[in-house]
Structure 1
Amino acid sequence: MSNQLILSLIAASVLTACGGSSTSATAPADPTPAPPKPTTTITATTGVITGFGSVFINGVEYETDATTVTTDDNGGASESDLQVGMVVTLSGEINEDGTTGNANAIHYDEQLKGPIASIDLFANTITILDQTIVFDDLTSFENFLLADLIPGDILEISGYFHTDGTLYATRIEKETEQTQLKIQARITLLDSVNKTFELNGLTIDYSSAIFKDFLEADLVDGQQVRVKGEYTALNAGVLVVSEVKLKEKNENNEEGDNRHVEGFITDFESSGNFKVDGIAIILDDNTEFKYGDASALMANVRVKIKGEFNADGSLLAKKIRIEQKTNLSIEGAIEAINLDLSTVTVLGVEFEINNQTKMKDESDNGERFFDLADVAIGEFVELKGFVDSDGKNIATKMQRENEDENAEVELKGHVSNILNFSFSLVGVTVITDANTEFEGKNGDDVNQEVFFEQLENNMQVEVKGQLIDGVFVALSVEIEEKDDDDNDSNRTEFKGIVEAINEGTLVVSGHQVLVGQTTIFKIDDVRVAAEQFWSSISIDTQLKIKGTLDQQGVITANYIELE
């Protein structure tokens, strides 16, 4: 019997067994094959939360429906406990598109919590427990206005460390009550006999502390640790701590493991040999750059890196995004929105919004899952950003706010086109007049003529004003750059607590303050005579001081106010 006849008989028997026949039914067509499942990459990520919808970190939107969320104080937290600006660690998967994924676990630890010792609003620094915190236009502020902060306020700080141990704040939250003090920093002056060490000058007594993730015998200078102590355990510059936790990166990474990391470059040897968040980074010819190239890599440059670990434990960077300094700021009503191009226009200036833009709704709407589709023409927003190499304004932050009751808007950027007491800023022509208030290079009040004598193209300037018949008229203008001709002093707008009073001098939050014949004295914003001022202050009085700060930390006061 031929093979063809055998196959025919088998086919007929199968159809008969199924109750059909070759003449009465047609075999059904094969079903459409299911589309292949998208491939995912397992990853670990450290980065700042820039928005919710689920959670945006390092330009990736992670779904959080099945995510375990923990914080230092809450092992059973939820997504609602997370906020924009927090630095978190995440484990999960990223989809093939590189912009979406799923988070399995998210954890948040603050880097510092404690009372303010002093504030410098010009230098953008705060001192807490001898730790120096730096903030800027991208820092998220929770529960307070910056100008309202005073010494003694308790703050929680999340952020990244510079090479010198200074903490850059990505988020600052004001606490409403005295809580446990927390500090993360590197150990110096370890004294194993007396059981003390220092964290940026603050003495830590660990004699009664519990050690987590390592042993007391393993303590060495240079380790990054995180300590906790009760608010009442701080006395005379010594904090007795209840816990010491190791914060070094002891990751057991295998070759090929994926990692996203964000932070400042430290341990810089060369553009192909440095660390970010304690992880050794290397480059090769295939490394891709965004907003710069390898020549821009140096100590204290902020970067976002995506890569894979190699056999020796170094992270081979596939993509490096160089975070540009925010030098553009605009505040006002939205005039146009283009969802296809992801742009928004304010005062005729167009900004591009992307998946790295920090998005927050501070208006009465309070929308948590806030993005460009949630805003409307006429709503009031604040935009921060920079100009890329193609001349586009890239938004690093967009914040919706309640409309200013006085229709006052704000601009900040580099000056151009200075002409006849006017200039251009962020592409907007700014007009000044007799009602404009001017602050010059030295932080002092000047008239219009003196201000424009000091003003030069490319200077950083901040303007507050109003749109009147389509013309931007400045109510106040301030030069934000220091005078480079005076290399031994810097402007300061300092808030601190009086620690000592001497004839002609004060000690305020550790700084010696020199008071001269030209110093202006105020009490609650009212100018007073020197005799009235001196009779009104005492130890622990809070003062606001404007002047110059030299390299030894001595302030020469132009202005002192008892608030």
Structure 2
Amino acid sequence: MMNRALLYLAVLLLAWLPGGCGGGAGGGIELASSGGSGGGIGGTGLTSSGTIDGFGSVFVNGIEFDTSGAEILVDGQRVGEQALGIGMVVLVVGEVNADGTTGTASRIVFDAAVRGPVQAITRDQDGDSMLLQVLGLEVIVERTGSVFEGLSYDGVQPGDLVEVSGFENTQGRLRATRIEKKEDFLPGVSVVQLKGVVDALNGTDFTLGGFTVDASGADLSALPDGVLASALRVEVTGTLDPDRAHIVASRITPQAAVAQVLPDDEDVSLQGFVADFVSAANFRVNGVVVDASAAVLRPADLVLGDGVLVEVEGSRSNGILRAQRLEGRRGRVEIEAAVASVDTASRSVTLQLAAGTVTVELDNRTLLEDDTDRVARLKLADINSGDFLEIEAIRVGDSLLATRIDRERADDDVLQAPLQAFVAGGSITLLGITFDTENAEFQAEDDVPLSAGQFYSALEPGLLVKVKDRRPADGIADEVEFEFEMGLDGDREFERDEEVDEPDEPDEPDEPDEPDSP
């Protein structure tokens, strides 16, 4: 691995840009390359985006950064490392050592994608994902794929004031990597934040994502020449009037698209969803053109296409990121069961289902979260036999690599994996574990009920199947359903119209029509 100075930028770079070409969290940051030498993937510096996946230092995009001397900024304010959280899309400036897995951060920056009250909730039938509206933005939240702070998946309610970090998907929605509940929402008092493009500018008033913004009393000092301009991408901080249609701004700062910020002739490590896919030599990640025709893929059989969450490493020249390495960051294998054993030396966890065991490995990119609130920052050493885990994994060769691990309260056993074998009308085998299906309920990918005959007539090895074995687990399947092989929870479910839970706030004025999503 070559030695070089590294600029490690891990947020969806400078901004979550609704209606733009991608984004994460951040804004108004002046970047400068750091000096020194280290290990990386090529060039004189590294610009990267990704989530915080663990602590004990800070893990971002597989690098463990020492933060002892780092300047840490959250929403523009200097804070300590304790203000950072799992799932935040962050900016890190620093150096990476020659081993390629450790480094030193000089600056870490986080800025939420959106902060505001939940206006409406659409829930999927399986209870695995939901679609929120927050200040007009559509936000997909996953039971397993999103990190929760101050609330639980089942506890999200209309009217909650939430702060969300995440990535824009190919449908223009924000897929939440982290959602945090703030204080109780009070119209005209609680601080909200919204990013977008200045439109219909009239003096100090303009529209942003369907909201009217009053900037007459706002701090505009960070804007070019300190003035508003039409088509300018900005972040508005302020309060939401009781009518829920007007924002009174206290501060407005400029935002930049990822492709505008990434320097040429430097190394890049960029996390985000594949979009505008034409071929391995021509697609975009966060609006950045990528050529991965010569890249090493992990896993080797990774199938690229729109909507696949990846981490791309390479060098950017003439506006094109020529990838040397491309890694899938989300898996479609899911295991929910109690821990049988933990091997900290080999960094692996074995889960015990009623009919067998499954072992998964961890690496520096495995996101760890504790939803039992027993520890603030979960580490592998904190996991014990008997703990109930929800694990998402991706197959790498003959092994399963955990992309994320959530410690939860005990629940039903669940196994989702490609089908290995089956006996028509009798059993199915996933990851070497065979489940009796004689009395199971069957469903298609779209949750439409199937008879046993319909299910088995459509079954063939390699199809993605999910099995639920209700507590107390006995190795006999209670629910069996096909799952979409491509896409994540919520991608397909919210393509059709669903019933929406509206806020129940008798003391508030009637809700106006929902603002258009940017």
TM-score of the two chains, using structure 1 as the length reference: 0.68
* Residue in structure 2 matching 1:410, options 414, 417, 435: 414
Q: Which residue of 2 aligns with 1:503?
A: none
C-alpha RMSD over aligned residues: 4.0
Shift of 1:245: 1.9
Secondary structure of 1:354's match? coil
Q: Deviations over 1:380-416 (max 9, x none)?
A: 322111334x3432211112334x2xx7423334556
Q: 2:340 and 2:87 mapped to 1: Cα distance?
A: 27
Secondary structure of 2:172's match? coil
Shift of 1:282: 4.6
Q: Residue type matched to 1:70 in 2?
A: L
**Greater strand fraction, Structure 1 or Structure 2:** 1
Secondary structure of 2:253's match? strand
Q: Which residue of 1 aligns with 2:333?
A: 328
User: Is residue 175 of structure 1 aligned with residue 187 of structure 2?
Assistant: no
Is the 8 Å Cα contact of residues 440 and 451 (structure 1) preserved in structure 2? no
Is the 8 Å Cα contact of residues 496 and 508 (structure 1) preserved in structure 2? no
Is the 8 Å Cα contact of residues 465 and 472 (structure 1) preserved in structure 2? no
Q: 1:260 and 1:451 mapped to 2: Cα distance?
A: 45
Larger radius of gyration: 1
Quickly say closer, same or farther: Cα 1:66–1:430, change in 2 above 3 A.
same
Q: Deviations over 1:260-295 (max 9, x none)?
A: 22122456676445543454545574x4332358x9
Q: 1:304 and 1:196 mapped to 2: Cα distance?
A: 37
Quickly say closer, same or farther: Cα 1:39–1:206, change in 2 above 3 A.
closer
Shift of 1:243: 2.5
Q: Please show how residues 231-310 of structure 1 align to structure 2 within 5 Å.
A: 231=240, 233=241, 235=243, 237-249=245-257, 256-266=265-275, 271-282=280-291, 285=294, 287-291=295-299, 296-310=303-317
Is the 8 Å Cα contact of residues 362 and 401 (structure 1) preserved in structure 2? yes
Q: 1:449 and 1:253 mapped to 2: Cα distance?
A: 53
Q: Please show how residues 96-495 of structure 1 align to structure 2 within 5 Å.
A: 96-122=98-124, 124-136=130-142, 137-178=144-185, 179-185=190-196, 187=197, 189-192=199-202, 195-199=205-209, 201-211=210-220, 212-215=222-225, 219-221=229-231, 223-231=232-240, 233=241, 235=243, 237-249=245-257, 256-266=265-275, 271-282=280-291, 285=294, 287-291=295-299, 296-310=303-317, 312=318, 314-324=320-330, 326-346=331-351, 347=353, 348-363=357-372, 365-366=374-375, 368=377, 370-371=379-380, 373-388=381-396, 390-402=397-409, 404=410, 408-414=412-418, 417=422, 419-420=424-425, 422-432=427-437, 456-457=459-460, 458=463, 460-461=465-466, 463-466=468-471, 471-475=474-478, 490=496, 492=498, 494-495=500-501
Q: 1:267 and 1:128 mapped to 2: Cα distance?
A: 26
Quickly say closer, same or farther: Cα 1:65–1:429, change in 2 above 3 A.
same
Shift of 1:338: 3.9
Q: Residue type matched to 1:77 in 2?
A: V
Q: Which residue of 1 aligns with 2:86?
A: 84
Is the 8 Å Cα contact of residues 464 and 484 (structure 2) preserved in structure 1? yes
Quickly say closer, same or farther: Cα 1:298–1:461, change in 2 above 3 A.
closer
Q: Deviations over 1:474-507 (max 9, x none)?
A: 455566669xxx99983746422489xxxxxxx9
Structure 2 portions without partners, runs of 5+ = 1-35, 486-491
245-254 or 129-138: bigger deviation: 245-254
Structure 1 portions without partners, runs of 5+ = 1-36, 500-506, 512-563
Q: 2:247 and 2:382 mapped to 1: Cα distance?
A: 47
Is the 8 Å Cα contact of residues 280 and 293 (structure 2) preserved in structure 1? no
Is the 8 Å Cα contact of residues 244 and 511 (structure 2) preserved in structure 1? no
Is the 8 Å Cα contact of residues 496 and 509 (structure 1) preserved in structure 2? no
Shift of 1:316: 3.8
Q: 1:234 and 1:391 mapped to 2: Cα distance?
A: 56
Shift of 1:96: 0.8
Q: 1:184 and 1:379 mapped to 2: Cα distance?
A: 40
Q: Which residue of 1 aligns with 2:502?
A: 496
* Residue in structure 1 matching 2:51, options 48, 52, 73: 48
101-110 or 338-347: bigger deviation: 338-347
Q: 2:154 and 2:262 mapped to 1: Cα distance?
A: 45
TM-score of the two chains, using structure 2 as the length reference: 0.73
Q: Which residue of 2 aligns with 1:561?
A: none
Give the total of aligned pairs.
448
Q: Deviations over 1:56-92 (max 9, x none)?
A: 100111111111111006x221111111100000000
Q: Deviations over 1:96-141 (max 9, x none)?
A: 1111111111011111111112112216311111110123332112
106-115 or 347-356: bigger deviation: 347-356
Q: 1:162 and 1:489 mapped to 2: Cα distance?
A: 13
Q: 1:116 and 1:497 mapped to 2: Cα distance?
A: 8
Secondary structure of 1:80's match? helix
Q: Residue type matched to 2:229 in 1?
A: L
Q: 2:228 and 2:292 mapped to 1: Cα distance?
A: 33
Q: Deviations over 1:308-364 (max 9, x none)?
A: 344x4654433222334x322212222244445433221311212122111123345
Shift of 1:93: 0.3
Identical positions, percent: 26
